[in-house]
């Protein structure tokens, strides 16, 4: 009851695309807004809400229908069918939710939405709301997509090397896979390019990055986008950065139940920087051959390892692997990734280089071994190795498989080599810069304050009218 009686400065709906990698950063941005005196409500689908393990105090969660309440996009016959149905049903159910919120005593003032769903902005404008797309991928990747959207680059991009302002020359393996092999994923390609379809009607563009990390790209985009660009990240729990948001120790939302106790107890028994952490997120499905090569690469490196391997993947492990590495490794179904990365025992992180995982490693100062699979991960891996220099990128063979020898080489280079020492120094440098960005007076903190100031000012103007 006390929460309902509060005099909030403004009310923001946060509407992420319904998958973990998009929900978590939006959730963290909502927490920041709540910390600064706004009412923040996270909107997700009925299906996702059924599987969420929530521990949220400062924000509310509301649900709408995407047309597939029993199975989400898995229930749809194709991703094209899902996106079409989501737009049709989601537009109506989001409209109904805004009407409901407006009658609750805390009317909505702004919709912060995932640009994978540009139609959400059209809904917001029907109510006269402010609107801001929240880009959950790097500014570098978004700049590449914008070049394609504007027709500067043609899909599929077949040039051997392309040049994008603020970025190093990008070979085929360095670009987002969706623009190089678009025929394989036409619906996803259309979705990422349509993110810019109506941004000129938005009031801000928000990005989960920080100025110091992508300064040249941010500067270039700021000059050319029709709407002000604000970097507001890294959108990770405050405990791992500035520690100003009380109780913000975890995202507070998981689509899988973490195996917390055994995982942390095991790590606490290992020496500093002695453990290789392996995780490819909630969606990647590696081939049996690739999992086997990772397994034997870990065995050959003779290091301790913690491997997050989902239950739908563990049947791909070589039978004798578990017996041969029983003294060296621990395999779990899921864990709290940030809590793992923050442990002193972690020496390097083998990952697909998804943007959230990259920001989490960067925020905790952990060196990386990149094994990108698709979408933005290939470009992120390029930046990790050649721009920020906080890791190495594993080289796949002609079949696209990273061999056990290559896995071993990367682990040894990061954990033991001379290059690894410099990588670790760079990782700490970026960790400090990430913290400074969100701390009081930092670049991201100022941008969030500016966003709030304009929002509150425009709300007051509306009330006076």
Residues 206 and 248 in one domain: yes
> Domain check: are 316 and 383 in the same one?
yes
**Average pLDDT, stretch 162-170?**
95
With 0-12 / 13-18 / 19 or more C-beta atoms within 10 angstroms meaning exposed / middle / buried, residue 147 is middle
The burial class, CB within 10 Å (0-12 / 13-18 / 19+), for 214 is buried
- Name the strand (E) or helix (H) holding 162: strand 161-162
Reduced to 3 states, what is the DSSP secondary structure of residue 94?
Answer: helix
How does DSSP classify residue 210? -
Q: Which two tokens stand for residue 44?
A: 């997700």
Lowest average pLDDT, out of 183-187, 225-229, 442-446, goes to 183-187
**Per-residue pLDDT at 183:** 59
d(CA 136, CA 236): 12
- For the residues of 280-345, what is the DSSP string, one character each? -TTT----HHHHHHHHHHHHHHT-EEEEE--TTTGGGS-TTHHHHTTTTEEEES---HHHHHTSTT
Buried b (16+ CB within 10 A) or exposed e, 331-360: bbbbbbbbbbbbbebbbbbbbbbbbbbbbb
Strand partners, 308: 332
For the ranges 38-42, 172-176, 284-288, 435-439, which has the lowest average pLDDT?
284-288
pLDDT per residue as tens digits for the range 390-411: 999 999 999 999 999 999 999 9
Do 422 and 441 lie in a common domain? no
- Give the Cα separation of 157 and 161 in Å (integer): 9
Check residue 423 and give its pLDDT. 98
Residue 237 sits at the vertex; the CA angle it makes with 234 and 242, to the nearest 5 degrees, is 75
Q: Would you state the pLDDT for residue 2?
A: 42
Mean pLDDT score of the chain, rounded to an integer? 93
Dihedrals φ, ψ of 341, to 5°? -60, -30
pLDDT of residue 330: 95
pLDDT band at 460 (very low <50, low <70, confident <90, very high): low
For residue range 91-119, what is the model confidence (pLDDT) as tens digits? 999 999 999 999 988 999 999 999 999 99
Q: Residue 152 is encoded by which pair of tokens?
A: 């500067």
What is the tally of structural domains in the chain?
2
- pLDDT at site 125: 97
Per the CB < 8 A criterion, the answer to whether 18 and 8 are in contact is: no
Q: Are residues 66 and 191 in the same domain?
A: yes
With b for 16 or more beta-carbon neighbours within 10 A and e for fewer, the 148-170 pattern comes to bbeeebebbbeeeebebebbeeb
* Residues 273, 399 within the same domain: yes
Q: How far is CA 59 from CA 11, 400, 446, in A?
A: 11, 43, 22
Residues 459 and 338 in one domain: no
Pairing outcome for strands 205-207 and 130-135 = parallel
pLDDT band at 5; cut points 50, 70, 90: low
455 shares a domain with 328: no
pLDDT tier at 266 (50, 70, 90 boundaries)?
A: very high
309-314 mean pLDDT? 84
d(CA 30, CA 135): 14
Q: Is the domain of 203 the same as that of 75?
A: yes
Whether residue 160 sits in one domain with residue 19: yes
- Sorted by sequence, the CB contacts under 8 Å of residue 41 that are 6+ apart come out as 11, 12, 13, 14, 30, 59, 60, 61, 62, 101, 108
Average pLDDT score over residue span 290-298: 97
Higher-pLDDT residue of 157 and 44 is 44
pLDDT score, position 135:
98
pLDDT tops 70 at residue 182: no
Q: What residues pair up with 253 in beta bridges, in sequence order?
A: 54
Strand partners, 64: 45
So what's the pLDDT on residue 465?
46
- Count CB-CB contacts under 10 A for residue 220: 17
User: Among residues of the chain, what percentage have pLDDT more than 70?
Assistant: 96
Burial category of 453 from C-beta neighbours within 10 Å (exposed 0-12, middle 13-18, buried 19 and up): exposed
pLDDT in tens, 223-260: 999 999 999 999 999 999 999 999 999 987 776 777 77
Nearest by Cα to 287 from 400, 139, 136? 400
Both structure tokens of 109: 């003032």
CATH number of domain containing 358 = 3.40.50.2000
> Which tokens sit at 143?
């700049």
Total-model pTM:
0.95
- The number of beta carbons lying within 10 Å of the beta carbon of residue 92 is 14
The pLDDT score that the predictor gives to residue 461 is: 59
Position of tokens 């304050």? 449
Residue range 432-438: mean pLDDT, rounded: 98
Mean pLDDT of 56-65: 90
Range of the domain at 297: 257-433
User: Is 168 in the same domain as 288?
Assistant: no
Please check the confidence at residue 287 and state whether its pLDDT lies above 90. yes
Same domain as 193, residue 100? yes
Residue 238's closest CA among 256, 218, 258, 252? 252
Specify whether the CB–CB gap between 69 and 50 falls below 8 A: no
What gap in Å lies between CA 335 and CA 307, rounded to an integer? 10
Per-position b or e across 416-441, b if 16+ CB within 10 A of its CB: eeeebeebbebbeebbebbbbbbbee
Question: Are residue 245 and residue 310 in the same domain, yes or no?
Answer: no
465, 460, 457, 464: which is closest to 203 by C-alpha?
Answer: 457
């Amino acid at each position: 009851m006390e929460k309902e009686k509060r005099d909030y400065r403004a009310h923001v709906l946060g509407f992420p695309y319904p998958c973990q990698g998009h929900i978590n950063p939006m959730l963290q941005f909502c927490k920041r807004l709540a910390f600064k005196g706004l009412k923040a409500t996270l909107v997700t689908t009925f299906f996702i809400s059924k599987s969420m393990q929530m521990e949220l105090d400062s924000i509310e969660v509301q649900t709408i229908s995407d047309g597939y309440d029993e199975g989400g996009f898995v229930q749809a016959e194709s991703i094209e069918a899902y996106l079409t149905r989501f737009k049709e049903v989601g537009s109506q159910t989001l409209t109904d939710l805004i009407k409901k919120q407006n009658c609750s005593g805390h009317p909505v003032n702004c919709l912060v939405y995932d640009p994978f769903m540009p139609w959400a902005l059209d809904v917001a404008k029907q109510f006269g709301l402010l609107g801001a797309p929240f880009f959950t991928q790097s500014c570098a990747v978004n700049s590449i997509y914008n070049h394609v959207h504007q027709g500067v680059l043609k899909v599929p991009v077949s040039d051997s090397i392309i040049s994008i302002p603020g970025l190093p020359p990008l070979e085929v393996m360095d670009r987002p896979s969706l623009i190089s092999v678009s025929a394989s994923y036409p619906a996803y390609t259309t979705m990422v390019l349509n993110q810019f379809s109506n941004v000129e009607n938005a009031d801000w563009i928000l990005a989960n990055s920080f100025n110091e990390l992508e300064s040249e790209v941010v500067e270039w985009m700021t000059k050319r986008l029709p709407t002000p660009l604000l970097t507001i990240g890294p959108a990770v729990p405050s405990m791992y950065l500035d520690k100003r948001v009380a109780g913000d120790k975890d995202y507070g939302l998981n689509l899988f139940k973490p195996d917390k106790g055994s995982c942390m107890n095991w790590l606490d028994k290992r020496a500093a920087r002695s453990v290789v952490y392996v995780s490819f997120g909630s969606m990647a499905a590696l081939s049996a051959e690739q999992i086997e090569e990772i397994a034997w690469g870990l065995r050959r490196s003779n290091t301790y390892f913690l491997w997050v391997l989902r239950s739908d993947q563990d049947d791909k492990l070589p039978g004798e692997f578990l017996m041969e590495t029983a003294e060296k490794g621990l395999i779990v179904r899921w864990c709290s990734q940030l809590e793992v990365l923050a442990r002193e025992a972690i020496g390097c992180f083998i990952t697909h280089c998804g943007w959230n995982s990259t920001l989490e490693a960067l925020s905790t100062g952990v060196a990386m071994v990149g094994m990108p699979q698709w979408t933005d991960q290939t470009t992120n891996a390029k930046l990790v190795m050649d721009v920020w220099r906080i890791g190495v990128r594993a080289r796949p063979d002609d079949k696209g498989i990273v061999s056990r020898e290559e896995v071993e080489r990367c682990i040894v280079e990061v954990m033991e080599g001379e290059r690894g020492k410099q990588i670790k120094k760079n990782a700490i440098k970026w960790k400090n810069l990430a913290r400074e960005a969100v701390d009081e007076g930092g670049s991201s903190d100022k941008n969030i304050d500016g966003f709030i100031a304009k929002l509150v000012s425009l709300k007051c103007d509306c009330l006076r009218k």
